[in-house]
Amino acid sequence: MTVRIEKSGAVWTVIHSRPEARNAMDPASAEALVAAFNEFNEDAGASVAVLWGEGGAFCAGFDLKHAGSLQGAERPLDALAYPSDDDAPLRCGPEWNRAARGPMGPTRMELDKPVIAAIAGPAVAGGFELALWCDVRVMEISAYFGVYCRRWGVPLIDGGTVRLPRIVGMGRAMELILTGRKLPADEAMRIGACEQVVPDGESRAYAEAMAHDVTRFPQVCMRADRRSAYMQQGLTQREAMRYEWVNGTPAFAAEGVQGAQRFASGKGRHGSFNDT
């Protein structure tokens, strides 16, 4: 089994384990990751997921040995074609459209809950795209990103050209996409491609500790804010603010009123997050 889940309360760590291939993604692993994140999203007891590659590599990209086996096929990626119907379900759950799986597995999934990437070693080519799919990236000091598929004539077709410019800006993204160069952790942190850099061997523990911190907060409100932040992309300011209001007010009714009452009673004063 190349994918397994380890659970610690509301935090689920999804582990991709193909260390002999530096966790390169083959179809079986991609399907298993989709199933794991679908289970995570649907489980009421799960709040935050950590994605970690076992054996010192996050993911070396799409398995090129498998890709090479497709030579001679007239349309080798037809089975993974992106749904042409804008209403095709990309969310998880009973209506999940299996044809909406990306080459790297969950990269087209629209989860309701956050995922933190714990990155050791390479997260390159499709592995870079997989990391960009996550909400937050924690990199070990020797970890690195890179559009390494540039040298093989393999394009970014699993979100890389969409998410990278949105995260680091068009100019920086274009330089990385065009050159395919290595992006080390310290530079990734500097340009905003990751959010934390930690010593080698500590990415999983750091990401899991962050995940446990997030689970302490009212989840309906947190998920509403996460959803609003993603949905505003591509909207005008007025449209985005209208969506934020429509999306956020039910969360306020569900949790915000009670939270305000707790504050009024003396909880969480002076910015304290330890007495909420």
Residue 252: its pLDDT value, please? 76
Convert the pLDDT of each residue in 104-137 to its tens digit.
999 999 899 999 999 999 999 999 999 999 999 9
* Cβ atoms of 80 and 62 closer than 8 Å: no
Nearest in space to 98 (alpha carbons), one of 9, 51, 26, 31: 31
Residue 263: its pLDDT value, please? 53
Residue 101: its pLDDT value, please? 78
Residue 43: C-alpha distances to residues 11, 46, 103, 111 (Å): 11, 6, 25, 12
Convert the pLDDT of each residue in 70-87 to its tens digit.
555 555 566 667 666 665
Query: Helix, strand, coil % (nearest 5) of the chain?
Result: 45, 15, 35
- When the candidates are 3.90.1300.10, 3.90.1150.10, 3.90.226.10, 3.40.50.11780, the CATH number that belongs to 3-215 is 3.90.226.10
* Cβ atoms of 214 and 114 closer than 8 Å: yes
Residue 276: its pLDDT value, please? 56
Per-residue pLDDT of the chain (276 residues; tens, 9 = 90+): 799 999 999 999 999 999 999 999 998 999 999 999 999 999 999 999 999 999 999 999 988 665 555 555 555 566 667 666 665 555 555 555 555 678 899 999 989 999 999 999 999 999 999 999 999 999 999 999 999 999 988 899 999 999 999 999 999 999 999 999 999 999 999 999 999 999 999 999 999 999 999 999 999 999 999 999 999 999 999 999 999 999 988 887 877 557 556 554 555 555 555 655
CA gap 208, 269 in Å, rounded: 27
Residue 258: its pLDDT value, please? 73
**Phi, psi dihedral angles at 153 (to 5 degrees):** 70, 25
Residue 262: its pLDDT value, please? 59
Give the global pTM. 0.89
Which sequence spans correspond to the domains of the chain?
3-215, 219-271
CA gap 93, 42 in Å, rounded: 6
CA gap 90, 149 in Å, rounded: 26
